[in-house]
Amino acid sequence: MKFFLFCLGAIGAGLPLHSAAQYVGRDDVFPDRAGKVIAFKATYSGTTDTVYFVDVATGVITERVADGSFGLEFKMLKAKVLNREKEMMKSLTAFSTFAFFDRGNVDRYFVRWKKDSTVASAWLPKVERHTHDPKIFIKYDNPRKVLLGVRLNRDAMLYDMLDTTAQGMARLLYSKDLSKADYQEFDHGHMQQAVISPTGGHIFTMPDGTMIDLVKGKKIWDFNYKKTGSSDVVFSKDGTHIAIEHQDKSVTVYDVQKGKRLYKIPAPPMFPGELKVEHLLPLPDMQTCFVFYMDFKKRSAKV
């Protein structure tokens, strides 16, 4: 198991010392699928957020770009930091047309980026009431995937918006009756998050911890996330393994097809004082983790 560490300070990373606040948010880290490069956004009070590119093997910062600057997305793609999708997801919306184009028992759904560019559209069964907003799960690179998780009354369903019938009906990939679900799962909805494999053949949904075969359109195994408090998950580059982070900051690697536990990666080392592990992100090589250490009293961090 490998951990790499460098300090978010002027000496180690060339970051400004004058800033009163500095942190790396858990949703602002973008590793490439090979686990060789990481881009992360550091936030400082009174200054522009900066995106840093880090070489995993050495921990050396190879490039720094102001967030929102021209060419940042190009640099992300050039470095193959493809799950910048997490950031792009914030600009995606999904909605139905309801009565505007009435076709009896179906509704037209649209997935749009920045409210003006249609990413996908398809027909889904009509229901009287939506209990939760639709959830979009997208994979931009080849093979491209646009999945829509909808909660219709007591049923949670996952549709492939790019795989449609001749009549334009989206393909149903997975459904689950939540009538017997516990309060937490039912109240928070279903499929709040989902990770699509690099091959586009599987999706792992959370918080229920279900591995779904997207080709066959069926569940193949479940992971009991409640026992370990799982948080982040990542597929290997070839899509054959998945690493699941646990509440105690250890990581377990599973076989995607069989759901068999292969090995466990221990929690990262602790440091003296107030420096604590705030978050851990397993990487696609199934051997390395990106770890956030925070000292909230001194407002300092190590990565």
Give 16-71 pLDDT, tens digit per residue: 333 334 445 545 666 666 667 777 776 665 566 777 777 777 778 887 777 766 56
How is the chain split into domains, by residue range? Answer: 84-222
What's the pLDDT score for residue 241?
96
What's the pLDDT score for residue 227?
59
Question: Phi/psi of residue 233, each to 5°?
Answer: -135, 155
pLDDT tens per residue, range 164-202:
888 888 888 888 877 766 545 555 555 677 889 988 999
For residue 21, the tally of other CB atoms under 10 A from its CB is 10
Tell me how far CA of residue 145 lies from CA of 93, 156, 201, in angstroms.
Answer: 15, 19, 10
Dihedral (CA of 54, 198, 71, 75) sign: positive
Tell me how far CA of residue 275 lies from CA of 18, 56, 251, in angstroms.
Answer: 20, 22, 21
Question: Phi/psi of residue 87, each to 5°?
Answer: -70, -40
Q: What is the mean pLDDT of the chain?
A: 73
What's the pLDDT score for residue 85?
53
What's the pLDDT score for residue 181?
62
Tell me how far CA of residue 225 lies from CA of 193, 203, 207, 219, in angstroms.
Answer: 13, 16, 7, 16
Q: Of 222 and 299, which is predicted with more confidence?
A: 222
Residue closest to 290 by CA, chosen among 22, 6, 49: 6
